[in-house]
Chain A
Amino acid sequence: DVKVTQSSRYLVKRTGEKVFLECVQDMDHENMFWYRQDPGLGLRLIYFSYDVKMKEKGDIPEGYSVSREKKERFSLILESASTNQTSMYLCASSLVGVKGNTIYFGEGSWLTVV
């Protein structure tokens, strides 16, 4: 069974803290994505990666960075968390050339910044 695992499901962090969100996929997919999801705004792409050590900015990269040192792992980093980064974060992976049913999502990480 295909699997995208986000290690932290629920986090509460203080303003200014550094936050790591980890995502691991076991399908040998080239592409990996980080989205945030807020009510009324849908899924917004933060960063994506199409290969190890490669990254591309999405629609809302400000305040975030990413790391892809191994093919199966894609980390999202908030260098200095702020309250407006309180959100649900979704990791996804796909084969080259996203085609609908080949994009797989993790369970989501709910981050609250206080």
Chain B
Amino acid sequence: EDKVVQSPLSLVVHEGDTVTLNCSYEVTNFRSLLWYKQEKKAPTFLFMLTSSGIEKKSGRLSSILDKKELFSILNITATQTGDSAIYLCAVEMDSNYQLIWGAGTKLIIKP
């Protein structure tokens, strides 16, 4: 059965800390891995990863994919209270373009 597992399910840190969120997957016909941020409303796109070892970066956020070990990490450095959100990982399958979603990591940044 295809699945995407995120860890931890929730995380509380202080402002300024660095966090690492994990996403592992077991799917057939992998096409890409996606990270989204969800605050109180709709998820918004962060990164799409298709190749191993190539870091994608956007400000304080970065992500990398390991297709051999079947996981991705999302790093956030110098966290701010505005980073508090649910971070969702999804894997797009090559066969039918559907997305399989992880359960999400709820990140809380304390001031």
Contacts and interface: CB of A to CB of B under 8 A. Distances in A.
Interface residues of A, number: 23
Interface stretch (A11-19, A41-49, A66-74, A77-85): A41-49
Contact of B48 (A42, A48, A96, A101): A101
SS class, residues of chain B in contact with chain A:
strand
A43 B103 CA distance: 7
Interface residues of B, number: 22
Given A40-B9, A45-B98, A101 B103 contact: no
Given A99-B92, A100-B48, A43 B101 contact: yes
Given A40-B9, A45-B98, 15 more contacts: A31-B97, A42-B4, A42-B102, A43-B88, A43-B90, A43-B101, A48-B98, A97-B97, A98-B97, A98-B99, A99-B48, A99-B92, A101-B45, A104-B42, A106-B42
Interface of B: 4, 6, 9, 32, 34, 41-45, 47-48, 88, 90, 92, 97-99, 101-104
